[in-house]
Amino acid sequence: MKLLRFATFLFTVLVVAGGDIAFAGDKDPLFVNMTTDDAYRSILAIKVSKNMSERGHPLTIFFNDRGILVISKANADKFKEQQAILAELAKAGATLIACPICMKHYEIKESDLLEGIKVGNPQLTGDALFRDNTKTLGW
């Protein structure tokens, strides 16, 4: 039954996409949209992002909705591992962007953000999201 569902899904994708499926090139940029503050899902998103960055893909992580909580210094104890990896990514040149609307909603000030996190704006976020050949992932 699972195989039949997968085959139906794959057929639908091929028909809708006209047979074109996008595969990442060796250096295609990766834009990760992280909306979660779940401990497992957030570490998974960050570790996958780090692995892709280490493979040469320019990396942007956009933190929004509850994902914004992961990058707040106030939550350092809860997200110690996540924040340590994010510090490495920032030093390595990854673009880490905080959603300003989400910051306001969760009452997180710019001074509360980890070092290396930029507050998003349409130009910054759009330039990363719409860079040629960018691939996206979401958590």
Nearest by Cα to 60 from 105, 115, 98: 98
Q: Does any domain span residue 132?
A: yes
Q: Whole-prediction pTM value?
A: 0.82
Query: Which residue range is the domain that position 74 belongs to?
Result: 22-138
Q: What distance, in Å, lies between the first and last C-alpha atoms of the chain?
A: 27
Nearest by Cα to 90 from 46, 27, 39, 29: 46
- Residue 100: what are its φ and ψ, rounded to 5°? -65, -30
Residue 44 CB-density burial (10 A; 0-12 exposed, 13-18 middle, 19+ buried): middle
Q: Does any domain span residue 77?
A: yes
Rounded Cα–Cα distance for residues 57 and 89 (Å): 12
The number of distinct structural domains making up the chain is 1
Q: Does any domain span residue 12?
A: no
Read off the CATH number of the domain in which 115 is found. 3.40.1260.10
Q: Does any domain span residue 17?
A: no
Q: Does any domain span residue 9?
A: no
Query: What pLDDT shows up at residue 100?
Result: 98
Rounded Cα–Cα distance for residues 123 and 57 (Å): 21
Q: Does any domain span residue 10?
A: no
- For 43-91, the pLDDT digits (tens) are 999 999 999 999 999 999 999 999 999 999 999 999 999 999 999 999 9
